[in-house]
Structure 1
Amino acid sequence: MKKTFLALAMAALMSSSAMAGTKIGVSMALFDDNFLTVLRNGMIAQAKGMEGVELQVEDAQNDVAKQLDQIKNFAASGVAAIIVNPVDTSATQAMTDAAKAANIPLVYVNRQPINVDTLPDNQAFVASNEEESGTLETIEVCRLLKEAGKDNAQVYVMMGELSNQAAVQRTKDIHDVIANGKCAVTLNIIDEQTANWSRDQAQSLMTNWISAGKPFDAVIANNDEMAIGAIQAMKAANIDMKNVVVGGVDATQDALAAMQAGDLDATVFQDAAGQGAGALDAAIKLSKGEKVDKKVYIPFQLVTPANIDKFLKKN
């Protein structure tokens, strides 16, 4: 009887340890963001289909110090792995160090850490290659301007958070397309400023640019939320959207609705749900001691009115 009881107790302990071994801590930069919500939901949906996998998802509320505390708390609680969507990609070394010190696998998702090329063996980065995003967007904007007969085009550029690698790279993509002769027209940047990925801030920024009175032919935004904010400002100023080319990145549902309405001309599909699922998959593999590529890329895809039907149900 004692042996039976002992065997049952050991089995229960092992079962409990197995369950604890599949708990994944997730720190998201911000819950209140359309794209990141899709990414988070993709991760949660993936976890629901996996037996014994439990996610503890927390909102860093765009606070670097709060996010670092979340990672340290995850490590102290003994999670099997940690997934981080970093608030500030230039502040990721401390996060890497905290996870390394606790010997807990860590996966960065969507936003590239500054130390991506020197990550420890049990850490990885899952996202899409940002060299594609701004490039696809800008080349399509150039094509549309050429089609409209605007060979010498004036353009405004809206940047995301300047501390964010994606914003830096997407803006660089725009300049590279111009510098490398990939643009079908001469593209002149009137001004470029950050609107911090925000629809409201983009609307205010676009209103200020419109008030300056300089003629412009296009707006290239680092993401869809800013593109939508710019569109709202232009419509409030009674600007005919048929006369302005607007580009964004992410292909969110709101952006696709704006495209269907004839306001947004181009966006780039970034598979948010796919990134979330891919990050969870990498975290679980690392927690089991399996090897994962340091960089796992999920391709970007250009979205236009011609192929929008393929993307309407993806996000």
Structure 2
Amino acid sequence: MKKLLLTAGLTALISTTAMAETIGVSIARFDDNFLTVMRNGMEDHAATLDGVDLQVEDATDDVAKQLDQINNFVASGVDAIIVNIVDTSAADAMTAAAESAGVPLVYVNREPTNVDSLPDNQAFVASNEIESGTLKAFQICQNLRAEGKSGGAKAYMLMGQLSNQAAIQRSKDVEDVLAMDMCNFIELVDKQTAEWSRDKAQDLMTNWLSSGEPFDAVFANNDEMAIGAIQAMKASGIDMADVQVGGVDATQDALQAMQSGDLDVTVFQDANGQGAGSVDAALALARGEDVDQKVYIPFKLVTPDNIDDFLGKN
């Protein structure tokens, strides 16, 4: 009887061990508000799943470091890998490292340049960036027309890191909207990268303000840069009621700025949803299940009219 119980216990232990699943996660940078919410979404979701363990690493915006992290995950025998990529053009090496080891890989939030040629055991979970900049730019266009400025308006654009597909696409979205007959009254005075940073955006906006060029709107690729621009304008004594400012992400700081009357438009990008979705996709791939290679979580326009629907979400 004791031998039988021991055998049964050992079988249970082996079964439990076999069910345990480990996912290695490499995040581009921890010191980013949106990515922090996304990371928390991953960890919170994994905590609700039996036997799922996340090993989360900070790539500190270093491409080589991130590739090392992926190789280390492979060497340690993880069941799957999730990557929030530092430089979207560096995906080929990361895809190859995981593919050669037979380890499933999921890119999250930032679209890799090889997204259309990913192997069967790799996927991409994010939101469709064509929506983000388009929703923001079109709403600002409508707002300017409502203010009676359809006869001519000027704007600046703050871009994210140009190594990121999101920055390139969101900027193109704005320019495409401004090329529409309805919105071509808006002239883009200048566009420069502030690398997703609030501080760098504040410095860049301060430089633009020093030129004395009149303007009516600021398009920012993300909320952090929109807030930096707002801080610079307020420091210069500009009445925020006179300038339309739009960002992307609907972070809590951005929503507070909107409630204060400083930010006019943002676009909700579901950080928690992307985080949880990437964990689900990684587990499904690790279990040999079918997964859509592109999993899109919709963007949603946020204005003062519907802000209450988004408070507390990012």
> What is the TM-score with the length of structure 1 in the denominator?
0.97
For 1:277, the equivalent position in structure 2 comes to 276
Quote how far apart the aligned CAs of 1:17 are. 2.7
1:160–1:194 CA contact under 8 A, matched in 2:
yes
Q: Deviations over 1:61-115 (max 9, x none)?
A: 1000010011111111111110000000011110000000110100000000000
Letter of the 1:163 counterpart: S
Cα distance in structure 1, aligned partners of 2:69 and 2:19: 23
For 1:142, the equivalent position in structure 2 comes to 141
Correspondence 1:53-92 to 2 at 5 A:
53-92=52-91
Quote how far apart the aligned CAs of 1:18 are. 2.1
Q: Deviations over 1:261-287 (max 9, x none)?
A: 000000000000001011111011101
Q: 5+ residue gaps in structure 1?
A: none
Q: Deviations over 1:106-160 (max 9, x none)?
A: 0000000000000000000000000000000000110111111112110000000
Cα distance in structure 1, aligned partners of 2:178 and 2:125: 29
Partner of 2:142, secondary structure, is helix
Letter of the 1:123 counterpart: Q
For 1:190, the equivalent position in structure 2 comes to 189
Letter of the 2:114 counterpart: N
For 2:15, the equivalent position in structure 1 comes to 14
For 2:304, the equivalent position in structure 1 comes to 305
Partner of 2:272, secondary structure, is helix
Cα distance in structure 1, aligned partners of 2:153 and 2:231: 22
1:135–1:170 CA contact under 8 A, matched in 2:
yes
Partner of 2:275, secondary structure, is helix
For 1:167, the equivalent position in structure 2 comes to 167
Letter of the 1:9 counterpart: L
Q: Deviations over 1:217-264 (max 9, x none)?
A: 100000000000000000000011111000000000000000000000
Cα distance in structure 2, aligned partners of 1:8 and 1:46: 30
Quote how far apart the aligned CAs of 1:2 are. 4.7
For 2:176, the equivalent position in structure 1 comes to 176
Overall identity of the aligned pairs, in %: 66
Partner of 1:197, secondary structure, is coil
Correspondence 1:106-255 to 2 at 5 A:
106-151=105-150, 152-183=152-183, 186-255=185-254
1:139–1:182 CA contact under 8 A, matched in 2:
no
Q: 5+ residue gaps in structure 2?
A: none
Give the root-mean-square deviation of aligned CA atoms.
Answer: 1.1
Compared with structure 1, are the counterparts of its residues 182 and 282 closer, same or farther at alpha carbon in structure 2 (3 Å cutoff)?
farther
Quote how far apart the aligned CAs of 1:4 are. 4.6
Cα distance in structure 1, aligned partners of 2:12 and 2:75: 25
Letter of the 1:198 counterpart: S
> What is the TM-score with the length of structure 2 in the denominator?
0.97
For 1:46, the equivalent position in structure 2 comes to 45
For 2:31, the equivalent position in structure 1 comes to 32
For 2:264, the equivalent position in structure 1 comes to 265
Cα distance in structure 1, aligned partners of 2:215 and 2:209: 9
- The number of residues matched between the two structures is 312
1:160–1:195 CA contact under 8 A, matched in 2:
yes
Runs of 4+ with deviation above 6 angstroms? none
Cα distance in structure 2, aligned partners of 1:260 and 1:10: 58
Cα distance in structure 1, aligned partners of 2:203 and 2:252: 22
Cα distance in structure 2, aligned partners of 1:124 and 1:210: 43
1:242–1:263 CA contact under 8 A, matched in 2:
yes
Partner of 2:245, secondary structure, is strand
